[in-house]
């Protein structure tokens, strides 16, 4: 059995998506860990932006807030919300990583509420924060989330953050910037993308130790399958050592 | 479908600002006086900073201590400040971008109880949407176009409207301006007239300051007006936006203040823990807010200067902030 946990695998998988010189908007937790890993492992010129205003920091360690002092450590600028989101809306943000309480087959995310009554919800979550903004503006929106049928649902109770909306060309028709949208979904079991026409979620890679059946059994809707499904590569020793020794030595994220 | 809690009419705002004083006069007062004078039941309130970073904690506590009710509030990545205001059930109308959570620290049980109680009327936005609403107000116009939230339930439960660009025909979401009745912002330095300097990220505070009808500034320290005039390039909020200046060193405690002190994670964890039990939480609030004379009293009860010096060390030596 390989010596890594599923959170480490998800972070390493996500980090590999970020090429040198790219620009990524991240939140705290796993997305931030992925961006930090990419910057330390293979993308030294990765530009990391935080919605509260931190621009291109060399993050010394995991921030606890996307506005805390560490998000401007050796940064090129300490700016504000509009500066960061306008940079994204101008088309200069390549990637973002998001999460949510629920996700559907088109990559729409719910992080607002469960229950039909908006003024008196059964469960209240924080709401969008900057997630809707990043998902609307960044060219490629990615999601990191555990594979669980309670999360992967047929229909989210509330669309906080746009994926491909109702599929097909519905996103383009909505008025959101053209060409941007969900790109990959990274879970503990697999990596999914979206079938180009229908925009439905599709398995493209399986993580070591899992099968296509495991992925489908832990999903509340039918997943499409790519013609060729590959096995996702496990974390390398180098990635793991950076992640464990430099980025998250106290296991705040990878200990979950 | 979501409500708009403040009037977006730019001409009405202009009438207000026409009468707002441009006199260069001292505005130094206590937080107690500032809240008595400028924060009223039913007002629309905005709190500066982001989450638990550079927040005017003393003002939030004082609003709860003075028992303000039925306010409107902008929940614009509002974490610990939101937690405090929920403890006093200060607002019943809310524009939401990010609430009830404290980011990586977890969710606030008491804030969730309040938000699930049905007592609060809610409109949904996003961080950028609310930023843009302040930007519109700061610019003196009734709306600002943006390209987010379309196609989502966030749009459905907001008060935004879809408009068409007159040049290209492209769809935009029109975000209505918010002119808060009163806002509170914590800054690093201010002079007695209210000229402010902020270090680190500014979030939406520069627009919030300009959009607000009344503005309470708390500052880490007062500085001479000569220092402001020595190099005006550092001034980020001019005095004519400001109504009250309160010197509150460690004013963002238990939050983080860029270049000054890190957040008191131990105390923030205690807040989240004690909220699980409403009885215990009541005692906690009595100790930390209701029976406190002021912000220093609160800090004294939670470790005083010894704690603050540790938090200063953490801010300067990040590797220790983990412990």
B283 vs A174: CA distance, rounded Å: 50
Residue B321 reports pLDDT greater than 60: no
User: Each residue of B189-231: pLDDT tens digit?
Assistant: 999 999 999 999 999 999 999 999 999 999 999 999 999 999 9
Collapsing DSSP to helix, strand or coil, A69 comes out as helix
Confidence (pLDDT) at B322: 43
Q: H/E element holding A109? A: strand A109-110
The mean pLDDT of B140-164, rounded to a whole number, is: 98
Confidence (pLDDT) at A215: 98
Q: Give ∠ CA A234-A36-A251 in degrees, rounded to 5.
A: 70
DSSP β-ladder status, A102-103 and A109-110: antiparallel
* Strand locations in chain B (E): 44-47, 71-75, 91-96, 121-124, 143-146, 161-164, 171-176, 182-190, 196-197, 214-222, 244-247
Predicted confidence pLDDT, tens digits, chain A (256 residues): 468 999 999 999 999 999 999 999 998 889 999 999 999 999 999 999 999 999 999 888 889 999 999 999 999 999 999 999 999 999 999 999 999 899 999 999 999 999 999 999 999 999 999 999 999 999 999 999 999 999 999 999 999 999 999 999 999 999 999 999 999 999 999 999 999 999 999 999 999 999 999 999 999 999 999 999 999 999 999 999 999 999 998 888 998 6
- Is the omega angle on the peptide bond into residue A85 within 30 degrees of 0, that is, cis? no
- Tell whether A104 lies on the interface with B, counting CB pairs under 8 A: no
pTM surpassing 0.80?
yes
* Helix, strand, coil share (%) of chain A residues, nearest 5: 25, 20, 55
- Catalytic residue check, A51: yes
- Alpha-helical runs (H) found in chain B: 10-19, 31-38, 57-65, 80-87, 109-116, 127-139, 153-156, 205-211, 225-230, 265-274, 278-285, 295-300, 304-316
The mean pLDDT of B309-321, rounded to a whole number, is: 79
Smallest Cα distance from A73 to chain B, Å: 9
The residues in A 7-36 lying below 8 A from B, measured between CB atoms, are: 27-29
Residue B257, strand partner residues: B261
Nearest CB to B127 within list A130, A137, A162? A130
The mean pLDDT of B284-304, rounded to a whole number, is: 98
Cα of first residue to Cα of last residue in chain B, in angstroms, is: 46
The alpha carbon torsion through B149, B150, B156, B159 (nearest 10 deg) reads: 70
- Tell whether B170 lies on the interface with A, counting CB pairs under 8 A: yes
B244 vs B91: CA distance, rounded Å: 22
Smallest Cα distance from A232 to chain B, Å: 28
Backbone CA torsion sign across A105, A106, A111, A115: negative
User: Each residue of B30-43: pLDDT tens digit?
Assistant: 999 999 999 999 99
Q: Answer whether A245's CB lies under 8 Å from A223's CB.
A: no
Residues from chain B contacting residue A245 (CB–CB below 8 Å): none
Whether B149 and A132 lie within 8 Å, measured CB to CB: yes
Please tell me which residue in A19, A51, A222, A231 is annotated as part of the active site: A51
Closest Cα to residue B50, out of B219, B234, B205, B261? B205
Look up residue B78 and give its DSSP letter: B
Alpha-carbon distance values, A221 to A150, A164, B211 (Å): 11, 16, 46
Residue B275 reports pLDDT greater than 80: yes
Q: What is the ipTM of this complex?
A: 0.96
Structure-block tokens of residue A133: 């903004």
Confidence (pLDDT) at A85: 98
Closest Cα to residue A137, out of A171, A105, A187, A100? A171
User: Each residue of B95-111: pLDDT tens digit?
Assistant: 999 999 999 899 999 99
Confidence (pLDDT) at B1: 83
Q: Answer whether A78's CB lies under 8 Å from A49's CB.
A: no
Q: How confident is the model at residue B316 (pLDDT cuts 50, 70, 90)?
A: confident
Confidence (pLDDT) at B8: 98
Residue B319 reports pLDDT greater than 90: no
Q: In angstroms, what is the C-alpha Rg of chain B?
A: 19
Residue B316, strand partner residues: none
Q: How confident is the model at residue B318 (pLDDT cuts 50, 70, 90)?
A: low
Who's near A237: CB < 8 A, 6+ residues apart?
Answer: none
Confidence (pLDDT) at A252: 83
Question: Which residue is listed with tokens 């994204």?
Answer: A88
The residue in chain A having the minimum alpha-carbon distance to the alpha carbon of residue B156 is: A159
Closest Cα to residue A58, out of A80, A40, A74? A74
Smallest Cα distance from B304 to chain A, Å: 22
Q: Answer whether B82's CB lies under 8 Å from B100's CB.
A: yes
Average pLDDT of chain B, as a whole number: 96
- Tell whether A160 lies on the interface with B, counting CB pairs under 8 A: yes
């Amino acid at each position: 059995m390989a010596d890594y946990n599923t959170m480490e695998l998800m972070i390493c998988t996500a980090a590999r998506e970020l090429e040198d010189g790219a620009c990524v908007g991240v939140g705290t937790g796993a997305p931030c860990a992925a961006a930090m890993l990419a910057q330390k492992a293979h993308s030294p010129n990765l530009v990391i932006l935080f919605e509260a205003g931190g621009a291109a920091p060399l993050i010394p360690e995991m921030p606890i807030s996307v506005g805390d002092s560490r998000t401007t450590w050796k940064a090129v600028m300490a700016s504000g919300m509009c500066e960061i989101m306008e940079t994204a809306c101008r088309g200069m943000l390549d990637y973002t990583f998001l999460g949510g309480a629920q996700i559907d087959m088109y990559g729409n995310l719910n992080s607002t509420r469960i229950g039909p009554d908006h003024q008196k919800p059964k469960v209240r979550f924080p709401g969008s924060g900057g997630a809707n903004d990043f998902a609307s503006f960044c060219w490629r929106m990615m999601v990191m989330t555990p594979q669980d049928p309670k999360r992967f649902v047929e229909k989210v109770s509330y669309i906080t953050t746009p994926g491909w909306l109702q599929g097909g060309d519905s996103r383009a028709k909505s008025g959101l910037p053209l060409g941007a949208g969900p790109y990959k979904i990274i879970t503990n079991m697999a990596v999914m993308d979206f079938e180009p026409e229908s925009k439905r979620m599709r398995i493209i890679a399986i993580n070591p130790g899992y099968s296509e059946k495991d992925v489908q059994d832990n999903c509340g809707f039918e997943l499409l399958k790519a013609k060729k499904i590959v096995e996702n590569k496990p974390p390398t020793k180098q990635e793991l050592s950076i992640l464990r020794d430099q980025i998250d030595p106290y296991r705040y994220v990878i200990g979950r | 479908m979501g409500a708009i809690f403040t009037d977006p009419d730019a001409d009405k705002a202009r009438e207000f600002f026409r009468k707002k004083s441009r006199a260069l006069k001292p505005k130094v007062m206590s937080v107690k006086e500032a809240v008595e004078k400028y924060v009223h039941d039913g007002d629309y309130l905005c709190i500066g900073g982001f989450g638990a970073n550079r927040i005017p904690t003393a003002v939030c506590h004082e609003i709860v201590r003075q028992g303000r009710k039925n306010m409107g509030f902008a929940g614009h990545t509002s974490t610990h400040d939101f937690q405090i205001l929920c403890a006093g059930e200060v607002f019943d109308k809310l524009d939401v971008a990010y609430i009830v959570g404290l980011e990586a620290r977890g969710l606030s049980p008491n804030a969730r109880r309040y938000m699930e109680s049905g007592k609060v009327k809610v409109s949904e936005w996003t961080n950028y949407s609310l930023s843009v609403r302040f930007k519109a107000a700061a610019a003196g116009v009734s709306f600002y176009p943006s390209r987010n939230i379309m196609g989502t339930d966030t749009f459905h439960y907001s008060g935004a409207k879809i408009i068409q660009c007159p040049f290209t025909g492209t769809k935009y979401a029109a975000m209505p301006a918010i002119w808060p009745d009163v806002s509170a912002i914590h800054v690093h330095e201010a002079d007695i007239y209210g000229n402010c300097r902020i270090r680190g990220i500014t979030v939406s505070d520069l627009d919030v300051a300009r959009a607000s009808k009344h503005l309470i500034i708390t500052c880490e320290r007062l500085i001479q007006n000569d220092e402001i005039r020595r190099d005006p390039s550092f001034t980020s909020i001019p005095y004519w936006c400001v109504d009250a200046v309160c010197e509150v060193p460690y004013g963002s405690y238990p939050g983080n203040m860029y270049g000054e002190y890190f957040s008191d994670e131990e105390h923030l964890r205690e807040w989240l823990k004690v909220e699980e039990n409403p009885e215990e939480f009541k005692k906690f609030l009595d100790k930390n807010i209701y029976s406190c004379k002021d912000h220093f009293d609160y800090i004294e009860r939670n470790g005083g200067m010894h704690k603050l010096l540790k938090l200063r060390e953490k801010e300067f030596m990040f590797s220790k902030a983990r412990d």
